[in-house]
A and B are shown apart, each in its own frame.
Chain A
Amino acid sequence: MIKVVLPAHLRTLAQLDRGEVELEVQGPVTQRSILDALEARYPMLKGTIRDHVTQQRRAFVRFFACAEDLSHESPDAPVPEAVASGAEPFLVVGAIAGG
């Protein structure tokens, strides 16, 4: 199972009572396959993390895992093994943008 941690606003939108979501991901575990599985279970999140059409990450959303910023990695690159194995969560983060 893949663990995904969502920011507070998206937890509220998805009506989650806790921060961490556990997802079954089919095939290679990549950013794209994680987000596909996330949006399949919580369709209201479509368009909030990545663009509906281009599928590009929204500018002020970041992806962290294993103390690394994966935001600029290819969405089709394998995520770290610790994420794929469920040992570490995949973090969706609202960027700090303000004073």
Chain B
Amino acid sequence: MSKVRVLVGTRKGAFILESDGKREKWDVSGPHFAGWELYHLKGSPADPNRLYASQTSGWFGQLIQRSSDGGKTWEPVDNKFVYDGVPGTHKWYDGTPHPWEFKRVWHLEPSLTDPDTVYAGVEDAALFRTTDGGKSWQELSGMRGHGTGSGWQPGAGGLGLHTIILDPKNPQRIFIAISAAGAFRSDDAGATWKAINQGLRSEYIPDPTAEVGHCVHHVAMHPSRPNVLFMQKHWDVLRSDNAGDLWKEVNGNLPDDDGKRGFGFVIDVHAHEPETIYVVPIKSDSQHFPHEGKLRVYRSKTGGNDWEPLTKGLPQQDCYVNVLRDAMAIDSLDSCGVYFGTTGGQVYASPDAGDSWNPIVRDLPAVLSVEVQTLP
């Protein structure tokens, strides 16, 4: 019988939650790396027992941990992330040039085919890769060297490269996203990059339709249709049907927020229905908690515009948590499971594609990331 393994990164350690295919009873292990911030953990699609974790601390900096037994034991691997060449500058919050400085790894994306190859999205925004299981990291400096790099400005959370999507049908194609620069695509395995932000409209920047400067929060893709992308931006949910060349807003009937719609952080796609997508609307600009104190996942079965709130099993009063950009995941069991974690320390699971929800755990530290592995 299949089982699932949920990898949870929190402000104070990592937790691994495991269940059989029913997803009713869960074994919880952790905290791993107690006291450290775990920005992200992810397993290799090519070897599910190979896991990678980004472990970071304001005191002791960045570590990368690797497991070869599904998270039972871990070993630290190389943590040296050095920008290629002279790093140069990006824009600081006040608009002045600011030197590129490595701060942390936000996201780890293992190769679809090789357990020793992993991409790392870092702050200040850059893309690194290891091809030796984490023994060494090299920057794919064409990303940061994109002609617009000197004009990138950090979002409130920092200038983080937070989304990495590897095209399952075209190994030369990689999508990434940066707060607050926007989305980019490489068609040559990361050597050169193109900004793919046409159609995004952001009223909070001087030119709302600029080539870069958009606060993209997250991007998702269904592996069967790699040219179709779904984006959660700082205001607006969008889709592209041509690999990011053009986007259109699909906010539809998402909750009204003082005349705007579509703010949130997470977005993901159903495992078997590529037009079924999930978001968690969050009130903005600065509140960053659910509308009306009701924690609702919104599902669209039409790829956007037509949304339904999913509430069964979720708190519908006095709930003021946030759901951060990497804190939603989807399993690939026949009855698709959806998972998300909150800044209040809950990890919710739905074994029926969002129709009903249950908390797997309720009292973890603030959740930074959630990933799930579907295991044989």
Contact = CB atoms under 8 A, between A and B. Distances in A.
B57 A13 contact: no
A9 B33 CA distance: 9
Contact of B59 (A46, A52, A53, A97): A97
B60 A94 contact: yes
A94 B82 CA distance: 24
B62 A47 contact: yes
B76 A13 contact: yes
B82 A95 contact: no
A47 B77 CA distance: 12
B82 A10 contact: no
A46 B36 CA distance: 17
Contacts of A9: 35-36, 57, 59-60
A49 B60 contact: yes
B59 A61 contact: yes
B305 interface: no
Contacts of B25: none
B98 interface: no
**Chain B: interface secondary structure?**
loop
A82 B107 CA distance: 45
Interface string B79-117: 110100000000000000000000000000000000000
Given A9-B35, A9-B36, A61 B60 contact: yes
B63 interface: yes
A52 B82 contact: yes
B147 interface: no
Nearest to A51: B61
A60 B79 contact: no
B58 A10 contact: no
B63 A58 contact: no
A74 interface: no
A48 B60 contact: yes
Contacts of B59: 7, 9, 58, 60-61, 94-95, 97
15 contacts: A9-B35, A10-B60, A13-B60, A13-B63, A44-B63, A46-B79, A46-B80, A47-B79, A48-B79, A52-B79, A60-B58, A61-B60, A94-B60, A97-B58, A97-B59
Interface of A: 7, 9-10, 13, 44, 46-49, 52-53, 58, 60-61, 94-95, 97
Given A47-B62, A52-B82, A95-B59, 18 more contacts: A9-B36, A9-B57, A9-B60, A13-B60, A13-B63, A44-B63, A44-B76, A46-B79, A47-B79, A47-B80, A48-B60, A48-B63, A48-B79, A52-B79, A52-B80, A58-B60, A60-B58, A94-B60
